[in-house]
Amino acid sequence: MAKRQILTIEDDPAIRRGIVDALRFAGYEAIQADRGDTGLETALAREFDLLLLDLVLPGRDGLEILREIRRVRPTLPVIVLTARGDEADRVRGLHDGADDYVVKPFRVKELLARVEAVLRRSPQRPTDVAAIAIPGGQIDPARREVRFDDGSREDLSEREIELLRYLASNSGRAIAREELLANVWRINPHGITTRTIDMHVARLREKLRDDPQRPSVLLTVRGKGYMFAPLR
């Protein structure tokens, strides 16, 4: 079984080192960043299971990072680490989407207990899919092709397969373009205006024989993004 991966964004080197060592000793894979700006880039470019986030950071404020993460990756578990004793700051973090908070100084055992508790109650990362059923055929990610019931086939690019895999793994959920840019294209979507996702979806609909006027596989969710429709 693959190790759970945890990203820690913390600028204090001693605290960060202590957290990373504790996580690794507990069996987690630790990723780390010492600034808010680079931490956000890492958070949007890497796949991981939980974020430990300091609130006071150079380069980008922790609450700004939290709001951006919640916009792009709404189900990612986040625990806020803060030296602030004011209750209003903790409430604000929870209001902005944190799953829990730990006030510094904290004991390693307390932090690990919070991590385990948040991971237990958080949705699991979608598992990969071996084959994707669609009306009149199926998608084979390993062979990068669509096989139709009439015997015909359609080749798919690696990016098209990655996009389909992500959408199908989140079947039935509307996924924002920003989330797709972060998790499929692996780029920071902040401030980016692009039609590349719309163009990829248009090409996929053509290859999947999904009527663009009345799609039944790749649905457009107005104001949100795209959704892979479960096969009924």
Q: Omega into 105 within 30° of 0, i.e. cis?
A: yes
Torsion of CA 110, 114, 117, 120, to 10 degrees: -130
Residue 127 has pLDDT above 50, yes or no: no
Q: Choose among 77, 69, 79: nearest CA to 10.
A: 79
User: What six digits make up the tokens of 48?
Assistant: 């991981």
CA distances from 35 to 190, 201, 227 (A): 17, 35, 34
pLDDT band at 192 (very low <50, low <70, confident <90, very high): low
Q: What is the mean pLDDT of the chain?
A: 87
Tell me where in the chain the CATH 1.10.10.10 domain(s) lie: 132-228
pLDDT band at 139 (very low <50, low <70, confident <90, very high): very high
pLDDT band at 212 (very low <50, low <70, confident <90, very high): very high
Residue with tokens 């401030």, as numbered in its chain:
191
Share of the chain above pLDDT 90, in %: 53
Residue 6 has pLDDT above 60, yes or no: yes
Cα torsion 171, 175, 178, 179: sign: negative
Q: Comparing 21 with 191, which gets the higher pLDDT?
A: 21
Amino acid at 153: R
pLDDT band at 40 (very low <50, low <70, confident <90, very high): very high
Tell me where in the chain the CATH 3.40.50.2300 domain(s) lie: 5-121
CB distance 163 to 196 below 8 Å: no
Domain formed by 132-228, architecture: Orthogonal Bundle (1.10)
Domain formed by 5-121, architecture: 3-Layer(aba) Sandwich (3.40)
